[in-house]
Structure 1
Amino acid sequence: MCQGITDEQGRLLTSWLGAFNVVWDYSWPLQDTTVLHIVAPPGEEFIVKASTTSHHIRREIAAHTAGFEGLAGRVSVLRHASAEAGILVTEFLPGTLVEGTPAEDDPETYRQAGAFLKKIHRPAGTSAHYAKALAAKTLQWMDRAPGLVPERQIDSLARELAALEPGVVQLVTSHGDYQPRNWLQENGHIKVIDFGRADARPWVHDLVRLSHQQFVGRPELEAAFYDGLGKMVGPEETDLWRLENLNQAVGTVVWANQAGDTAFEQAGRAMVDRLFSGT
């Protein structure tokens, strides 16, 4: 059996698909997740994701089980899954990753991505506890940030965190990692992959990474995205938006440092700097 696939997972794969061949290995060592592009008789292509430790498998299974109404052909189809064994199989979704291609600089990509996100975001109720829990988690990140983030920044951001009062939060079915590395394009159409971080969160959560990456210095991309989404972050989301930014910025620095991902750690520091400078 393939490296990274347990005996139990291997038995399940064989029972589901029969004999198969690995086309490519896209595994994520930092997250202890095996990701394989495989071909099984009579020539069908699939993506297999497996892990015995990562909670992302269960989240992705839940997201696919809930369904993606109106997005047929633009989101992969779940064919087999076992949350207990930590494995899922989806149909292979053809396309080219947007990240690193000319499509990443095309406003039309972002207009479509915004419209796509609008369809992904389905109402998931309200929560009086979400913001409090996120603030507590952010404070935990800050407690582990000394030596990684300048002390003056930590103190300033901690004071700001304590002053935020987002209140009751409207939740949606968020993607969790919505950015060009999880977008495909085929014949001018955008598709979306990897729902391993999907969960019920406020809609602004899915905009944080883009605002610190592709939107920086590119107002035309930001405008196109919000045009497709049909709304922008407004005054009523000010505290929640800031809280989501604080959490993802400091959390990125600490997590990436622990995982040994230097590039991601630097990206987190840039997020913190941007928040601290107010730009």
Structure 2
Amino acid sequence: MTTPRQQELLGEWLPGAELVKDLSWGLVGTTVLMLEHDGTRYIVKAGDEADTNIARELRAHREWLEPWTSRGLAPRLAFGDDDAKLLVTHYLPGDLVEGTPDEYNPETYHQAGVLLALLHGQLTVEDKDFEASENEKSLAWLDGPHRIAPDVVSRLRDEINSWPIPPSTLVPTHGDWQPRNWLINNGTVTAIDFGRAELRPAWGDFGRLAAQQFRQDRRLEAAFLDGYGTDPRDPATWRRNSIREAIGTACWAFRVGSEDYEQQGHRMIAEALAAD
């Protein structure tokens, strides 16, 4: 565990728990462990001082995930402490979709669309500041360390500064909706990892798929939309989102040293700018 307080809380919640597997990703300072206590398995997530994901994940569990957890489609929260940046969920059985034949099975995407519609459909919030805030985040990424070419940075800045800032309708979103955060168990797709969960426009959960699997096989996009029930993307807002997603991917990946994701981010930037 990362801190003495996290160790203390875990000892209170799951005394004598045994380590089954270390599931930590390694790119960020979050420790992820599978533990067993009294014959029951749990997933523990412990954030470091820089972590902002644990609080978002706890909020998601407390406010938005009931449509999934009540159906066994997401892990249930067992314990959590915002100040300690620590949460414990019940283990959700299943195999990760990413890297398996299910990653390119249209049925997987139909189920993922149905699943996402359950999350999005429970709440809407009107927000007049969302677009402006997202633009500021993108400009801040460009102000920081990255390897985006100077002429591309200039073009990105000019475009962002030219955008309108209309009001937005926000819904609960996962924030990283893609096969690396889906499990499949006896043919049923379920969801994990809510560290980027937040109120956003519905189309925010389409970005990862559009940049990856959808561009490789359009059948997957069709199946996903059929499951979701509609397509919330309109050309103008989708272009803005695509550029912001591309900037965030390239800059974040550079900061954490993930060259594959960084190259994906540069490709996303080129493709988004070419879609004039």
What interval of TM-score do these two structures reach, taking the shorter chain for normalisation?
over 0.9
Greater shift in the superposed pair: 63-72 or 214-223: 63-72
For residue 166 of structure 2, what is the aligned residue in structure 1?
A: 167
For residue 257 of structure 1, what is the aligned residue in structure 2?
A: 254
Note the C-alpha offset of 1:67. 4.0
Tell me, yes or no, if the aligned pair for 1:47 and 1:92 is still in contact at 8 Å. yes
**Structure 2 residue 63 is matched with structure 1 residue 66:** yes
Distance of 2:179 and 2:191 partners within structure 1: 9
The size of the alignment, in residue pairs, is: 272
- Provide structure 1 residue ranges, at least 5 long, that are not aligned to the other structure: none
For residue 53 of structure 2, what is the aligned residue in structure 1?
A: 56
For residue 266 of structure 2, what is the aligned residue in structure 1?
A: 269
One-letter identity of the residue aligned with 2:133:
A
Greater shift in the superposed pair: 150-159 or 165-174: 150-159
Distance of 1:107 and 1:156 partners within structure 2: 37
Q: How does 1:136-215 map to 2 (within 5 A)?
A: 136-144=136-144, 148-215=147-214
| Overall identity of the aligned pairs, in % | 38
Q: How does 1:239-258 map to 2 (within 5 A)?
A: 239-258=236-255
Deviations 1:209-262 (A, max 9, x none): 10010001311001100111111144xx33322222111111211121121111
Note the C-alpha offset of 1:70. 3.2
Distance of 1:46 and 1:252 partners within structure 2: 30
Q: How does 1:116-127 map to 2 (within 5 A)?
A: 116-121=115-120, 122-127=122-127
Q: What is the RMSD computed on CA atoms of the aligned residues?
A: 1.6
Note the C-alpha offset of 1:148. 1.4
| Partner-residue secondary structure (3-state), 2:99 | coil
Note the C-alpha offset of 1:166. 4.3
For residue 31 of structure 2, what is the aligned residue in structure 1?
A: 34
Match of 2:235 among 223, 234, 238: 238
For residue 86 of structure 1, what is the aligned residue in structure 2?
A: 85
Tell me, yes or no, if the aligned pair for 1:52 and 1:85 is still in contact at 8 Å. no
Tell me, yes or no, if the aligned pair for 1:165 and 1:239 is still in contact at 8 Å. no
Distance of 1:67 and 1:239 partners within structure 2: 28
Note the C-alpha offset of 1:129. 0.5
Tell me, yes or no, if the aligned pair for 1:172 and 1:200 is still in contact at 8 Å. yes
Q: TM-score, normalised by structure 2?
A: 0.94
Query: Cα distance 1:150–1:5, how it changes in 2: closer, same or farther (>3 A)?
Result: closer
Q: TM-score, normalised by structure 1?
A: 0.93
Tell me, yes or no, if the aligned pair for 1:131 and 1:240 is still in contact at 8 Å. no
Note the C-alpha offset of 1:31. 1.7
For residue 114 of structure 2, what is the aligned residue in structure 1?
A: 115
Tell me, yes or no, if the aligned pair for 2:2 and 2:48 is still in contact at 8 Å. no
- Provide structure 2 residue ranges, at least 5 long, that are not aligned to the other structure: none
Tell me, yes or no, if the aligned pair for 1:164 and 1:239 is still in contact at 8 Å. no
Tell me, yes or no, if the aligned pair for 1:37 and 1:48 is still in contact at 8 Å. yes
One-letter identity of the residue aligned with 1:159:
D
